[in-house]
Amino acid sequence: MAETLVRLIPSGGFVCRKGDRAEHWIGIVSGLVKVSSVSPEGKPTTFIGVPSGGWFGEGALLKRESRRYDAIALRSSVVAYMPRNTFFLLLDTNVHFNRFLLVQLNERLGQFVAMVEHQRFLRPDARVAAELAALFNPVLYPGNHSILPISQEELGPLLGLSRQRVNSALHRLERAGLLTVDYGGVTVKDVQGLREYAG
DNA sequence: ACATTAACAGGAA
DNA sequence: TTCCTGTTAATGT
């Protein structure tokens, strides 16, 4: 804790940039951060949203590479930067830290496999439901409450759908009583229901 | 069919 | 003023 620095990143600010040297392991204390990239044609895409409690960026640290993706705060966020030396010291000396990291990696791998599964098998409405539920993974993102402060404008690229399609899906899910649609975000009322939603 | 892009008006921050 | 939402029309697969 003494060596980890904590910074407040304003909404829209960079948490880290593609191409940066990776000097820290990054944790979200509060707020919401998107991990994204830009295609060769110039189209921006978001890969994951990381809410409070989530850690990322260990890949570039472990492989001693530069950052592969941008991370941008979707709203004002408190971000913890653990220096590489601290990260490797803990990795070399602390069993609990290793276990924590292993569980993180395992859960994230499961999240990505599920994401591919959803994209191949589910219709857009069900995909929106499934991915919203995934943002409430209790292992990866402990201590989340039910309000998900992410606009439909950001949700579209995150889910690989147009904003308009996301809008219609959200309203269908709202009519099903699983969530409510607010300005700039959604309030999840029934995570289990979202998981089980099939259209 | 069904999703996407483009465009626009009205509301929120 | 800028961003977000809800909606429609045109377009594409």
Same domain, A82 and A47: yes
Structure tokens at A120: 């191949």
Question: Within 13 Å and on the Cβ side, how many CA atoms surround A172?
Answer: 17
Using CA atoms, how far residue A1 sits from A5, A39, A59, A87, A88, in Å, is 8, 37, 21, 11, 14
Same domain, A116 and A191: yes
Q: Which of residues 100-129 of A have CB within 7 Å of strand B?
A: 123-124
In angstroms, how far is C13 C1' from A165 CA? 16
Which bases on strand B have an atom closer than 7 Å to a protein beta carbon? 2-7, 12-13
Query: Do residues A78 and A30 lie in contact, with contact meaning Cβ atoms separated by under 8 Å?
Result: yes
Same domain, A116 and A74: no
CATH number at residue A42: 2.60.120.10
Cα–Cα distance measured from residue A178 to residue A47, given in angstroms and rounded to the nearest whole number: 24
Q: What is the pLDDT along chain A (199 residues), one digit of tens a residue?
A: 999 999 999 988 999 999 999 999 999 998 889 998 877 666 777 888 888 888 999 999 999 899 999 999 988 899 999 999 999 999 999 999 999 999 999 988 988 888 888 888 888 899 999 988 888 776 666 666 677 888 899 898 888 898 999 999 999 999 999 999 999 889 998 888 988 886 5
Cβ of A161 near strand B (distance < 7 A): yes
Domain total of chain A: 2
Same domain, A48 and A107: no
- Picking from A36, A67, A89, the residue at the C-terminal end of a domain is A89
Using CA atoms, how far residue A88 sits from A56, A82, A85, A175, in Å, is 15, 10, 5, 49
Same domain, A79 and A101: no
- Picking from A31, A63, A89, the residue at the C-terminal end of a domain is A89
- Picking from A51, A69, A89, the residue at the C-terminal end of a domain is A89
Max Cα-Cα span within chain A: 52
Same domain, A48 and A68: yes
Give the predicted TM-score (pTM) of the model. 0.83
Cβ of A183 near strand B (distance < 7 A): yes
Judge residue A176's burial from the number of C-beta atoms within 10 Å of its C-beta, 0-12 exposed, 13-18 middle, 19 or more buried: middle
Same domain, A112 and A70: no
Same domain, A106 and A196: yes
Which residue has the closest alpha carbon to B4 C1'?
Answer: A162
Query: Do residues A31 and A71 lie in contact, with contact meaning Cβ atoms separated by under 8 Å?
Result: no
Same domain, A85 and A98: no
pLDDT of residue A46: 85
In angstroms, how far is C13 C1' from A36 CA? 27
Same domain, A124 and A33: no
Same domain, A150 and A181: yes
Same domain, A108 and A184: yes
Residue A135 CA to its chain's centroid (Å): 7
Q: Which domain holds residue A160?
A: 94-199
Tell me the sheet residues that pair with A13: none
H or E segment at A35?
strand A24-38
